[in-house]
Amino acid sequence: MTIPYSLCSYSEQRELPYVVLAVFKPGPRPWRKSRIHRALTQLTHDLGFKPLPGRAWKLVGQRGLHAEVRKRAVPGTQATGWHQDGDMDPGVNMDHAIITWANVAPTEFKVGNNIFQPKPFEVVIVRNLGVYHRRPPGAPHERWLFRQRVEVPTNYDLPHVS
């Protein structure tokens, strides 16, 4: 299967708290969760990322990939406030990386007083302990979102920010 993405230039990204891995556009509509999940988990696998072991979210596809695709936002969740994944779960190893993608209103990342936001369709990786993140205010109720928790990679130099 050909994955419709293009790798991005790493050298131009050093001022960002995340690394843009690719631009992924799912193709003509209607989009399906399973197709997006399969394409993006294949991309992360091909780039050498290892899914974080342990408990995973409600998933489409294989549970061991620690990944999910959502079409709609869950109202009233922690995702609307600044947080780090695992900060509400006792005993969770928070030192991991998160890969995200959205077709509109991508996840926002905060470092100090600065807020950063990838462009729609960019697949990005960020170190969980380096930033806080949230669903952007005013994000539409319906938006396609992918996220995957992975081990901190040794093959990418993620920005160390806090």
Domain presence at residue 161: no
Q: What is the pTM of this model?
A: 0.85
CATH number of residue 110's parent domain = 2.60.120
Backbone angles phi, psi at 6, to 5 degrees: -130, 135
pLDDT digits (tens, 9 = 90+) for 129-144: 989 999 999 888 899 9
**Residue pLDDT, tens place only, 43-87:** 999 999 999 876 554 544 455 678 889 888 776 666 788 988 876
Q: Is the pLDDT of residue 153 over 70?
A: yes
In a domain, 159, yes or no: no
> Of 91 and 107, which is predicted with more confidence?
107
Q: State pLDDT tens for residues 105-122.
A: 999 999 999 999 999 999
Assess if residue 158 is contained within a domain. no
Instruction: Report yes or no on 29 lying in a domain.
Output: yes
Res 162: pLDDT? 52
Query: Which range marks the domain in which residue 65 is found?
Result: 5-150
> Quick check: 37 pLDDT over 50?
yes
Q: Are 95 and 128 in contact (CB under 8 A)?
A: yes
